[in-house]
Amino acid sequence: MLSVYDEQLMYSWTYKEWSNRIKGANLAIIDAHELAIQAAWVSGIVSRPVKGRPKGPDKYFDAKQARKQVIEGGQPKKKADFMLYDRMKVGLKGFDWRGAFVQKEK
């Protein structure tokens, strides 16, 4: 992926350098996929018996979206959901903490 095999060189990178190299390697993989899909799309058009323009290669692989995810750092961020916390708070309001952790004498 990175095409770097020198461990000392890799250990000398800062986190930002390493992160940028990983992003660059991922973008190179996306470019390779995009070129392969475009080549397959063109060869499919050439070997097609029915004339006419089919849908574009973006139907099979959305390179713009993939690049956006790599540059922005992965999956879209979710907003925090406090509903579970609120339900737990209400449910634990009447909980007997002393009875739960203190053993009863026999």
Mention every residue, 6+ apart, whose C-beta is less than 8 A from residue 38.
57
pLDDT digits (tens, 9 = 90+) for 55-102: 788 888 888 888 888 888 766 556 666 777 777 788 888 777 777 777
For residue 6, the model assigns a pLDDT of 83
Mention every residue, 6+ apart, whose C-beta is less than 8 A from residue 71.
23, 27
- Hey, how many other C-beta atoms are within 10 angstroms of the C-beta on 87? 10
For residue 47, the model assigns a pLDDT of 79
For residue 79, the model assigns a pLDDT of 64
Smallest CA-to-CA distance from 36 within 55, 54, 61, 53 is with: 61
- Strand, helix or coil at 75? coil
What is the rounded average pLDDT of the residues 17-24? 89
pLDDT digits (tens, 9 = 90+) for 91-106: 888 777 777 777 666 6
Q: How far apart are CA 96 and CA 10, in angstroms?
A: 54
Instruction: Report the run of H or E that residue 91 belongs to, with start and end.
Output: helix 83-91
